[in-house]
């Protein structure tokens, strides 16, 4: 008998074509527009909350087999079934903030939202406004969209159109500050707006920070964590990083979370200069992987020791989750949880990831908690 195994009915149903996925997105957008007058207890749009959860469900189902196979391969390499250090990100934030407050009782924790914050109602308004001639001219095929609401563009995507046009029209309607924040998170840049590094060293020309400025900033932070690690002689939980960055930013949550996301990205992907160095091995031996539920990246051999193949390429891709989750939380002072989800939707529809199915699953499970995280952080707003 050969090694081909017949797929179970559940697995067959689990696969979802890109066309069907985009149809799902289109229906969600239609529902959001139709029901935009129905807010929940917190003022969030009910249709948006339900819709983005449907998108998350479709994502997980779409790549069910790929995610399951990737998890199986990494579990085998890690030699474990579950990650004992895994924590929901809200618990990580709460523990870090509680510890900071106990260590610094006179320093208030403050979470400031941008005055240009884009809420659910603003999002619907930006989506449904007719496309102008000027907006259409930004795109090679844009002329055919002139005068049509963005929902018509989404319908066109279902029929095989370019999702970049839909997202591009919407993105260009955002305030410049908001676009800059989203762009920074989506690129290789490790200096996020609002942080000390960004404020002090933002380049006057272009968008590239000097390697010397970036290295000096983050290598000092790395040395500080080495001191803490040597004192404790155990891997540092992410909540300990939250404490450190809150102390560095005098209790200000937004720049603290930006610093944390930038630092983790600096280690995992290098900085945005030609001299940037990836330092995943330092991360693996000093900081706990609390993001992956099925396995711990701390248990995986160094990347250089792994043979080329599916495991090595997947592990390298999965490391990105450890800065991706903090980066999405960093966006919450600027855009609503639903808009964060829409940005992630576009990222996965338009870009190829080595461990795509698995990363989709982890990201969408996390995105389902974004509203709760946002509500918690808003409790620290200045009255």
Tell whether 33 is covered by a domain. no
Integer Cα distance of 273 and 265 in angstroms: 13
Tell whether 10 is covered by a domain. no
Show the tokens assigned to 221. Answer: 């932070």
| Coil, strand or helix at 137 | coil
Tell whether 153 is covered by a domain. yes
What ranges in 270-320 are assigned the alpha helix state H? 280-286, 310-318
Show the tokens assigned to 376. Answer: 């918690």
Tell whether 218 is covered by a domain. yes
363 and 264 share a domain?
yes
Residue range 303-312, pLDDT digits in tens: 989 898 888 8
190 and 272 share a domain?
yes
DSSP state of 298: G
Q: Which domain holds residue 317?
A: 85-116+175-378
pLDDT by residue, tens only, the chain of 383 residues: 333 233 333 333 334 444 444 444 444 444 444 444 444 444 444 444 544 555 545 544 556 677 888 888 899 998 888 899 999 999 999 999 999 999 999 999 999 998 889 887 787 788 778 888 778 777 656 567 777 777 777 677 667 667 677 778 888 888 888 888 888 887 778 889 889 999 888 876 666 788 888 999 999 999 999 999 999 899 999 999 999 999 999 999 999 999 999 999 999 988 877 677 889 999 999 999 999 999 999 999 999 898 988 888 888 989 999 998 999 999 999 998 888 887 777 777 666 666 667 888 888 788 888 889 999 999 999 76
Integer Cα distance of 10 and 17 in angstroms: 15
* Rama region for 214: left / alpha / beta (φ>0; ψ in -120 to 50; rest): alpha
Angle at which helix 46-62 crosses helix 18-34, to 10 degrees, equals 170
140 and 218 share a domain?
no
Residue range 104-131, pLDDT digits in tens: 999 999 999 988 898 877 877 887 788 8
Tell whether 287 is covered by a domain. yes
159 and 290 share a domain?
no
Angle at which helix 120-128 crosses helix 150-158, to 10 degrees, equals 80
What global pTM score does this model have?
A: 0.83
Number of domains in the chain: 2
């Amino acid at each position: 008998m050969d090694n081909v195994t017949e797929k179970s009915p559940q697995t067959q149903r689990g696969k979802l074509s890109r066309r069907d996925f985009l149809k799902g997105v289109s229906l969600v957008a239609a529902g959001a527009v139709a029901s935009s007058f129905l807010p929940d207890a917190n003022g969030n749009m009910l249709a948006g909350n339900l819709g983005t959860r449907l998108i998350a469900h479709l994502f997980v189902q779409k790549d069910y087999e790929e995610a399951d196979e990737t998890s199986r391969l990494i579990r085998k390499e890690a030699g474990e079934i579950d990650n004992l250090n895994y924590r929901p990100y809200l618990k990580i934030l709460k523990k870090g903030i509680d510890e900071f407050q106990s260590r610094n009782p006179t320093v208030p924790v403050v979470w400031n939202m941008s005055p240009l914050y884009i809420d659910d109602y603003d999002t619907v308004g930006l989506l449904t406004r007719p496309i102008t001639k000027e907006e259409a001219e930004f795109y090679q095929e844009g002329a055919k969209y002139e005068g049509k609401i963005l929902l018509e563009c989404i319908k066109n995507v279902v029929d095989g159109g370019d999702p970049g046009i839909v997202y591009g029209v919407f993105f260009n309607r955002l305030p410049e500050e908001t676009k800059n924040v989203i762009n920074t998170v989506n690129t290789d840049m490790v200096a996020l707006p609002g942080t000390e590094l960004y404020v002090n060293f933002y380049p006057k020309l272009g968008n590239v920070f000097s390697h010397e400025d970036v290295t000096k900033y983050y290598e000092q932070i790395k040395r500080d964590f080495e001191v803490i690690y040597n004192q404790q002689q155990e891997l540092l939980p992410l909540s300990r990083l939250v404490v450190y960055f809150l102390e560095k930013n005098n209790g200000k949550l937004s720049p603290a979370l930006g610093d944390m996301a930038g630092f983790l990205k600096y280690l995992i992907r290098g900085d945005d200069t030609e001299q940037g160095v990836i330092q995943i091995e330092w991360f693996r031996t000093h900081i706990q992987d609390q993001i992956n539920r099925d396995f711990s990246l701390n248990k995986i051999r160094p990347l250089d020791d792994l043979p080329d193949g599916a495991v090595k390429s997947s592990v390298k891709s999965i490391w990105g989750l450890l800065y991706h989750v903090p980066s999405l939380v960093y966006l919450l002072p600027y855009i609503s949880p639903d808009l964060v989800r829409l940005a992630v939707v576009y990222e996965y529809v338009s870009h190829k990831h080595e461990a795509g199915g698995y990363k989709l699953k982890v990201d969408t499970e996390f995105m389902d908690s974004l509203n709760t995280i946002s509500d918690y952080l808003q409790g620290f707003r200045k009255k």
